[in-house]
Structure 1
Amino acid sequence: MNKIIKIGLLSLAGAISTVACSDDFVEREFYQDVEQAPLKTSQEMQAFVRGIYTSMRTTAYYGADFLAYAEVRSDEMYSTLAGGYYQNVYNYTMLSNDPYAVTTYNQIYTAIAKANIVINSDLGAIQGTSQDKAYATFAQGQAYGLRAIAFFDAFRLYGQKYTPGGTLGIVLPLKYDPKALMPRATIAQTEAQIDADFTKALQIMTSSAALNYTSASNKTELSVNALRGMMSRYYLYKGDYAKVRTLTNDLVGKYTVATAGLLQTTFQFVMNGAAPNSIFELAVGTNASLSTGSYRQRLNPLGYANIVVSADAYNSYSTSDIRRGLITVSGGVRYLSNNNGTGKYTNTVGADNIRMLRYEEILLNGVEAELNGGSAVTALNYYNQIVTNRGLPAATSVDMTMLKSERRKELLGEGLRQWDLRRWGDAVPRPAGVSTDQRLNAFPIPRGETDLANTPVVSNPGYDN
Structure 2
Amino acid sequence: MKKIYLIIIGLTLVFTACEDDLNLAPISDPSAANFYNNTEDFELAINGAYNALGDYSTNQLYLSEVRSDNVYSVGTGVRLWNPINNFERTLQSNSLMSDAWNSCYRVIYLANMVIDNIDEGKVPDSDTRDRMIGEAKFLRALNYLDLVRFFGRVPIFDEPYSPTEALEIGRAPVSDVYTLIEQDLIDAISSLPSSYPTSMTGKVTSGAAQALLARAYLTMSGPDYGIDGPGMGLDKYGDALTLLNQVISNPNYGWVDDYASIFDYDNENNPDIVFDIQAINDGATGDRGIGTILPTLMYLESWAKINLPFAGGVPNDGTGGIDPSDDLIASCEEGDVRDDFSILMSYVDENGNPVDNPQYQKFVSLNHIPADRFNWGINFPVIRYTDVLMMKAEVLLRTGGSQSEIDGIVNQVRERAGVDPVSNVDMDMLLEERRKEFMAEGLRWHDLVRSGKAIDVMNAWAASEDDADKINTVVANDIIYAIHQDQLDVKEGLYDQNPGY
What TM-score do you get using the length of structure 1 for normalisation? Answer: 0.82
Q: SS state of the match for residue 124, structure 1?
A: coil
Query: Deviation per CA, 1:61-88, whole angstroms, max 9, x where unpaired?
Result: 3242332220111112222648724123
Residue 444 (str. 1) matches residue 468 (str. 2): no
Confirm whether residue 116 of structure 1 aligns to residue 100 of structure 2. no
1:304 aligns with 2:342: no
- Which of residues 161, 176, 180 in structure 2 aligns to 1:177? 161
Provide the rounded CA distance (Å) in 2 between the counterparts of 1:446 and 1:285: 31
More deviation, 34-43/62-71: 34-43
**Match in the other structure for 2:205:** 223
Aligned to 2:350: none
Contact 2:30–2:113 (CA<8 Å) still a contact in 1?
A: no
Q: Distance in 1 between matches of 2:8 and 2:199?
A: 20
- Structure 1: give runs of 5+ residues left out of the alignment: 1-18, 160-168, 206-210
User: Could you report, residue by residue, the CA deviation over 1:171-198 in whole angstroms, capped at 9, with x for unpaired residues?
Assistant: 1111111412201111222222221221
- 5 Å-filtered alignment, 1:281-292, equals 281-287=276-282, 288-289=287-288
- Structure 1 residue 34, shift from structure 2 partner: 8.1
Superposed displacement of residue 147, structure 1:
0.6
Match of 1:258 among 236, 246, 256: 256
Corresponding position: 1:400 with 2:427: yes
Pair 1:272 & 2:268 matched: yes
* Residues 1:359 and 2:359 are matched in the alignment: no
Counterpart of 1:371 in structure 2 is 397
Cα contact 2:5–2:290 (8 A) shared by 1: no
Give the structure 2 partner of residue 382 of structure 1: 409
Residue 245 of structure 1 is matched in structure 2 by 241
CA distances 1:387-406 after superposition (whole Å, capped 9, x unpaired): 12111233344222221111
Q: 2:181 aligns with which of 188, 191, 194?
A: 194
Structure 2 letter corresponding to 1:406: E
Residue range with higher mean Cα deviation, 413-422 or 446-455:
446-455
In structure 2, the CA distance between the partners of 1:78 and 1:342, relative to structure 1 (3 Å rule), is farther
User: Given the alignment of the two structures, is residue 84 of structure 1 paired with residue 48 of structure 2, yes or no?
Assistant: no
Query: Which moves more between the two structures, 146-155 or 70-79?
Result: 70-79
Distance 2:492 2:46 in 1: 32
- Distance in 1 (CA, whole Å) between partners of 2:95 and 2:362 is 28
Say if 1:171 and 1:183, in contact at 8 Å, map to a contact too: yes
Residue aligning to 1:294: 293
Write the letter of the residue equivalent to 1:329: M
Q: Which amino acid aligns with 1:222?
A: V
Task: State the alpha-carbon separation in 2 of the partners of residues 53 and 455 from structure 1.
Answer: 33
Match of residue 461 from structure 1: 499
Structure 1's 189 and 51: CA in aligned 2 closer, same or farther, altered over 3 A?
same
Give the length in aligned residue pairs: 421
2:69 aligns with 75
Gaps of 5+ in 2: 19-28, 222-235, 305-311, 315-320, 347-354
> Is 2:52 the partner of 1:55?
yes
Aligned alpha-carbon RMSD (Å) = 3.0
Is 1:44 aligned with 2:41? yes
Residue aligning to 1:22: 5
Q: Within the alignment, does 1:126 sit opposite 2:122 as a pair?
A: yes
Residues 127 and 54 from structure 1, CA distance in 2 versus in 1: closer, same or farther, beyond 3 angstroms?
Answer: closer
Distance change >3 Å, CA 217–CA 398, structure 1 → 2: farther
The one of 330, 333, 337 equivalent to 2:357 is 333
Q: Percent of aligned positions with the same letter in both sequences?
A: 23
Partner of 2:129: 136
Deviation by residue 1:328-354 (Cα, 9 ceiling, x = unmatched) = 1124432221798499x9877422112
Are residues 23 and 362 of structure 1, via their aligned partners in 2, closer, same or farther at CA, if it must alter by over 3 Å? farther
Tell me: CA distance 1:338–1:257, structure 2 relative to 1, closer, same or farther (3 Å).
Answer: closer
2:133 matches 1:149: no
**SS of corresponding position for 1:104:** helix
Task: State the AA in 2 paired with 1:135.
Answer: T
Greater percentage in helix: 2
Report the AA paired with residue 334 of structure 2. T
Q: Give the Cα separation in 2 of the matches to 1:389 and 1:411.
A: 14
Note if contact 1:126-1:136 (Cα within 8 Å) is conserved in structure 2: no
Distance 1:312 1:366 in 2: 26
Change (3 A) 1:80 1:335: farther
In the TM superposition, what whole-angstrom CA distance separates every residue of 1:9-51 from its partner, at most 9, and x where no partner exists?
Answer: xxxxxxxxxx954256321225658812263422222222211
2:328 is matched with 313
8 Å CA contact 1:24–1:286 kept in 2: the answer is no
Partner of 1:322: 337
